[in-house]
């Protein structure tokens, strides 16, 4: 578990992070989300102390393998230095947007580099590199140089290298923003596989909402160095979070007449049946303005915008509230 307590970071007169309080649970995929310059990458880099704190602390809590309460380690990141910091960083790996590979060395050497730096024996290095190449799907590329690989393949090399020392936490700083949509999905599936099979906690910085919906179990929304909101990804999207609205540009064009209502359907509801039933029971007509289905991890969730006549608005609103469906009333430009 990673616990941020009153974390503050300043660059001269600029406050990059302001009193951040946040907990990231063991084994989850957690997203740090916000616009460019929000402070999310700075926050990520405080976890492995690439950024020093001006105030507050980050505590990494770890249970031993038998999970006994007496064997809990609590590591104060702010106080780490020297050998203790180097040992800590073995367990906190990082991958970057632009891969950061050694261009003059082949794939095998790039993956092996952390192991070589820690003076592992040659046979151990070879075994580990081959295992990792198999996990990330590049066993046939070990003799290639980075410039002979696609962007997705280079990111797979970077992921394999990050896993070399068997980390417990994997930090991803915009790891897919340089990739096309299809390759992005492949890399996200690989990260989900690593999280599930190896039990690694993944903390991911992104401004891509599709990445958030696909992989993040929980997210923190950061803006101007402040933590605005934290919660389950689908809950924040389905609750019409005001903080999230600043990052999502999917507002439909609305009719000038009547009232438009956006409905959010969680997994336990079928939108079509609710809409049909409401029209029948209230004996009213309305227009469907806009709708879509989206993937949130392994679930498919939906949203729908309907437009009702002014005289029917109160009745429709009462019906929706009674069904306990999340909604928001939208304002058209003409209103």
pLDDT of 218 > 80? The answer is yes
pLDDT of 191 > 60? The answer is yes
**pLDDT confidence bin for 203, thresholds 50/70/90:** very high
> Reduced to 3 DSSP states, what percent helix, strand and coil does the chain have, rounded to the nearest 5?
40, 30, 30
Q: Model confidence over 235-258: pLDDT tens digits?
A: 887 766 667 766 765 566 778 888
**pLDDT confidence bin for 15, thresholds 50/70/90:** very high
Q: Taking residues 101-118, what's their average pLDDT?
A: 94
To the nearest 10 degrees (0 to 180), the angle between helices 107-117 and 122-136 is 130
User: Domains (ranges, CATH) in the chain?
Assistant: 2-245 (3.40.50.300), 259-330 (3.30.70.260)
Tell me the three state secondary structure of residue 248: coil
Which position has the token pair 């700075």? Answer: 42
Q: Which of 189, 245, 230, 241 is nearest to 35 (CA)?
A: 245
The CA distance from 184 to 212, in Å, is: 12
Query: What's residue 227's pLDDT?
Result: 94
Q: Taking residues 259-288, what's their average pLDDT?
A: 78
The CA distance from 202 to 216, in Å, is: 9
Query: What's residue 289's pLDDT?
Result: 85
pLDDT more than 70, % of the chain: 88
Q: Please measure the distance between the N-terminal and C-terminal CA atoms of the chain and give it in whole angstroms.
A: 48
pLDDT more than 90, % of the chain: 52
Which residues share a beta bridge with 22?
Answer: 4
Q: Taking residues 265-287, what's their average pLDDT?
A: 76
pLDDT of 335 > 50? The answer is no
CB 128 within 8 A of CB 161: no
Say which DSSP state 164 is in: T
Query: What's residue 246's pLDDT?
Result: 67
**pLDDT confidence bin for 297, thresholds 50/70/90:** low
Q: Model confidence over 62-87: pLDDT tens digits?
A: 765 554 444 557 899 999 999 999 98
The CA distance from 91 to 198, in Å, is: 13
The CA distance from 311 to 300, in Å, is: 33
CB 139 within 8 A of CB 130: yes
Q: Of 119-128, 142-151, 226-235, 294-303, which range is least confident?
A: 294-303
Query: What's residue 30's pLDDT?
Result: 96
Query: What's residue 68's pLDDT?
Result: 46
- Report pTM: 0.80
Query: What's residue 303's pLDDT?
Result: 78
Query: What's residue 257's pLDDT?
Result: 85
Residue 197, Cβ density class (10 Å: 0-12 exposed, 13-18 middle, ≥19 buried): exposed
Which position has the token pair 């507002």? Answer: 251
């Amino acid at each position: 578990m990673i616990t941020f307590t009153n974390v503050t970071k300043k660059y001269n007169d600029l406050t990059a992070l302001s009193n951040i309080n946040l907990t990231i649970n063991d084994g989850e995929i957690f997203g740090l989300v916000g616009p460019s310059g929000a402070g999310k990458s700075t926050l990520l880099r405080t976890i492995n102390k690439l950024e020093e704190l001006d105030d507050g602390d980050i505590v990494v809590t770890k249970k031993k393998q038998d999970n006994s309460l007496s064997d809990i380690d609590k590591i104060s990141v702010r106080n780490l230095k020297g050998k203790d910091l180097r040992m800590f960083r073995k367990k906190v790996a990082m991958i970057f947007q632009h891969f950061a590979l050694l261009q003059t060395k082949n794939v095998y050497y790039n993956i092996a580099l952390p192991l070589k730096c820690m003076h592992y024996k040659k046979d151990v290095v070879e075994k580990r590199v081959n295992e990792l190449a198999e996990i990330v799907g590049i066993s046939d590329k070990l003799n290639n140089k980075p410039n002979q690989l696609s962007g997705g393949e280079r990111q797979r090399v970077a992921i394999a290298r990050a896993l070399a020392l068997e980390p417990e936490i994997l930090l991803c700083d915009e790891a897919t923003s340089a990739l096309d949509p299809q390759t992005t999905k492949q890399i996200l599936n690989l990260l989900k596989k690593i999280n599930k099979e190896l039990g690694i906690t993944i903390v991911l910085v992104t401004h891509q909402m599709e990445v958030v919906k696909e992989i993040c179990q929980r997210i923190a929304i950061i803006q101007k160095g402040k933590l605005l909101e934290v919660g389950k990804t689908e809950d924040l999207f389905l609750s019409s979070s005001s903080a999230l609205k600043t990052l999502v540009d999917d507002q439909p064009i609305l009719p000038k007449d009547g009232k438009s209502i956006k409905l959010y359907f969680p997994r336990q509801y079928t939108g079509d049946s609710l809409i049909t039933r409401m029209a029948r029971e209230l004996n009213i007509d309305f227009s469907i303005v806009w709708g879509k289905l989206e993937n949130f991890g392994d679930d498919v969730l939906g949203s729908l915008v309907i437009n009702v006549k002014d005289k029917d608005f109160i009745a429709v609103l009462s019906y929706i509230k009674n069904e306990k469906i999340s909604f928001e009333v939208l304002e058209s430009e003409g209103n």
